[in-house]
Amino acid sequence: MTQHSVRLGVDIGGTFTDVVLEVGTASFSTKVLTTYIAPENAIIDGMHQVCTKAGIAPSEIGQIIHGTTLATNALIERRGAKTALITTEGFRDVIEMRTESRFEQYDLNLTLPEPLLPRQMRYTVAGRMDASGNELLPLTRADIEPVVAQIKAAGYESIAVGLIHSYLNDDHEKLVGEVLAEMMPDAMVSLSCEVSPQMREYERFNTVVANAYIKPLMKSYLGRLEGRLRDEGVDCNIFLMHSGGGIISIENAAEFPVRLVESGPAGGAVFAANIAARYGLDKVLSFDMGGTTAKICLIKNQTPKTSRVFEVARTYRFKKGSGMPISIPVIDMVEIGAGGGSLAHVDAMRQIRVGPESAGSEPGPACYGRGGAKPAVTDADLVLGKLDPDNFAGGSIKLDAASSAKALTDVLGDVLEMDAATSAFGLAEVVDENMANAARVHAVENGEDLSEYTMIAFGGAAPLHAGRLCEKLGVDRLLVPQGAGVGSAIGFLRAPFSFEANRSVYMTLAGFDPDKIKALLADLQEEATGFVRNCDATAPILSEFKVYMRYSGQGWEIPITLTQEQALNPEAATFEARFIEDYVKLFGRAVEGMDIEITVWSVNATTPPEEVARVQEGTGGPASAHHGSRQLFDPALSKFVAANVVLRDDMAVGTTVEGPAIITEDETTIIIPTSRTATRQPDGCIDLRVKG
């Protein structure tokens, strides 16, 4: 067996670490509880489990692709390194002053989130660039050295450098970096001109601070992981999934760890896009629900929607603007604290609230029997009959229904005068409605009608809730793919090598400069291609060109995709036509008599996508055999019903299951509501549709 035919995908989540091994066309997977103190331990454990299933030695693995929430969790929990920020005089408080936007307009007692670094950890230097990149005030070594001496004396591990307008002229930032390298050779340095060379100081400074804050943690973790794998006889390339939906080398990931934020959810979106291509679906709602969060993403024409700014650690009911903005390429999705481990409580208005606090894997939900006393979503699912207590996670974890019922009664039932089953129903409905509302808002913000969409559900908890979510959203069709419980890890193995380079250079169509544009896009193409070549020296590379445009005076831009011909032979009329076309699609009409501005230029270099064969879909046939039944609560009917239990592995292609029913497998459980019928498709997907 050749090494290159064996690939391992690993996704570290808040509760479970998912491991998928592909040996040729065969696939083997497992879920193990995440080990917070040393996350690499769970990877090694899971790797041995899947290698044993496949009958191979770990040394035969030829490639590892990894995604993790460690970077995200470090930012949310403020567990990063001791970090300093060096910025331009007069801009010390940018990350604390934020912008003029208020995420809760009418809250007179609004409390803004604390910046990642307090004021005493932010330092300034002289020197100044103007908005065109010209030097207004010089910056010399004599200005920088006393500041670096203070930082060195204070014992900082990592330093972020963010100077005004460095995205246009990085000379001052590079000089600061040189002095830091000479005076503090052991410290880690992040320059905003390398991490995020884009306009808007608040977002750019936050991004470089976040990169510096988590850089020592991620470098240490990735180094330990490499060492442990070598100790186990694994000597192969390790790649990391980045938030934009592609793969980068472990060296680039260690240098720019902020690009790993949202890497796990990005893998899930890639997985859903692959399924969408298999079925020829142009409008897909990706629904990923794990142990800590639920993620919803719109996928059009088999491509996930992307953005260049997103927020981490939203603090105020997950409202836009209440988090930490990170200015990097990312798959655009909405994320809420609604996972299997999300904890419930009763608020001051006697309403059930769920999340964002999660039980994680330590101690986990009450039913895990590891000391958890508060009810989690998993506890509600168990009491409602969705889970088999003896066969959770393939039987590796035995669930205690009595502990779930007690936690539900103690925290919810006694306060609201309800029994355990009613408390579980209330908790589940709150979670499902929260997710449905998030999907509705995301669709409205993007001008989409969800009734035209097909849902693809994956993640350990998603198939338990997806059927009910479809009922709430008016979605007629739901696909649950093979391997749904470890969908993100499978997505890592489907992702291309890619890297997106972007830069802010302001230009109006009235001042359109074709020669400057050609040179700029050529530089960005070379930069992005260089990152991809670090991963694959021989594969063909495709370039995707994008510009961000707006009418003069507007605050934000819209992304405009250009063909290679349009980008490398730029004409003002073409740029204007493409902008107006997309602007009208988004807002309904163009604005007459306004000049148009371009603010950000972007080139994404990527290896070609995996070839996908279309599935020859079946429309339903004979009923599948079932293995007993159990009582299942159907929320649409507000009562327990008798539901047949079907083993997914026993479903033959084309066989059907009428709801209410439960389809079980090792890594998840699919709930078929009374309103739906499920059919097994040739590729193993379970296809749920409205009866009739």
d(CA 610, CA 366): 42
- Ranges 3-7, 408-412, 648-652: which has the least confidence: 3-7
What is the model's pLDDT at position 366?
87
CA angle (563, 565, 569) in 5-degree steps: 125
Confidence band of 580 (pLDDT split at 50, 70, 90): very high
What is the model's pLDDT at position 313?
67
Read off the pLDDT of each residue in 520-536 and give the average, rounded to a whole number: 91
What is the model's pLDDT at position 485?
84
What is the model's pLDDT at position 257?
92
User: What is the SS3 assignment for 562?
Assistant: strand
* Paired strand residues for 88: 125
What is the model's pLDDT at position 342?
84
Q: Which helix (H) or strand (E) holds 161?
A: strand 158-162
Cα distance from N-terminal residue to C-terminal residue, the chain: 48
What is the model's pLDDT at position 294?
83
Read off the pLDDT of each residue in 653-671 and give the average, rounded to a whole number: 90
Confidence band of 427 (pLDDT split at 50, 70, 90): very high
Instruction: Express each pLDDT in 668-682 by its tens digit.
Output: 899 999 999 999 999
Instruction: Express each pLDDT in 247-294 by its tens digit.
Output: 888 898 999 999 988 888 888 899 999 999 999 999 999 999 887 778
What's the pTM value of the predicted model, to 2 decimals?
Answer: 0.86
Q: pLDDT higher for 246 or 313?
A: 246
Per-residue HEC secondary structure of 369-427 comes to: CCCCCCCEHHHHHHHCCCCCCCCEHHHCECCCHHHHHHHHHHHHHHHHCCCHHHHHHHH
| Beta strands at 629-634 and 639-647: parallel, antiparallel or unpaired | antiparallel
Which token pair is 16? 């479970």
| Residue 2, pLDDT above cutoff 50 | no
Residue 66 amino acid letter: H
DSSP label at residue 58: G
- Ranges 82-86, 220-224, 310-314: which has the least confidence: 310-314
d(CA 148, CA 152): 6
What is the model's pLDDT at position 318?
58
Sequence-separated (6 or more) residues with CB below 8 Å from residue 338: 289, 293, 294, 354, 355, 377, 431, 434, 435
% of the chain with per-residue pLDDT over 70: 97
% of the chain with per-residue pLDDT over 90: 55
CA angle (403, 406, 409) in 5-degree steps: 150
| Residue 573, pLDDT above cutoff 80 | yes
Confidence band of 3 (pLDDT split at 50, 70, 90): very low
Which token pair is 43? 């990877």
What does pLDDT average to over the chain? 89
DSSP annotation string for 485-517: GGHHHHHHHHPPBEEEEEEEEEEESTT--HHHH
What is the model's pLDDT at position 613?
83
Contact call for residues 605 and 542 (beta carbons, < 8 A): yes
User: What is the SS3 assignment for 278?
Assistant: helix
Among candidate residues 121, 127, 172, the one with its CA nearest the CA of residue 151: 121
Contact call for residues 213 and 195 (beta carbons, < 8 A): no
Read off the pLDDT of each residue in 451-464 and give the average, rounded to a whole number: 91
d(CA 414, CA 157): 49
d(CA 629, CA 662): 8
User: What is the SS3 assignment for 7?
Assistant: strand
DSSP label at residue 186: T
What is the model's pLDDT at position 107?
80
Instruction: Express each pLDDT in 105-142 by its tens digit.
Output: 788 887 778 899 999 999 999 999 998 889 999 999 99
| Residue 187, pLDDT above cutoff 90 | yes
Backbone angles phi, psi at 349, to 5 degrees: -95, 15
Read off the pLDDT of each residue in 622-650 and give the average, rounded to a whole number: 88
Instruction: Express each pLDDT in 309-352 by its tens digit.
Output: 887 766 665 567 777 888 888 888 887 777 788 889 998 889 99
What is the model's pLDDT at position 277?
92
Instruction: Express each pLDDT in 12-35 by its tens digit.
Output: 887 788 899 999 888 998 888 888
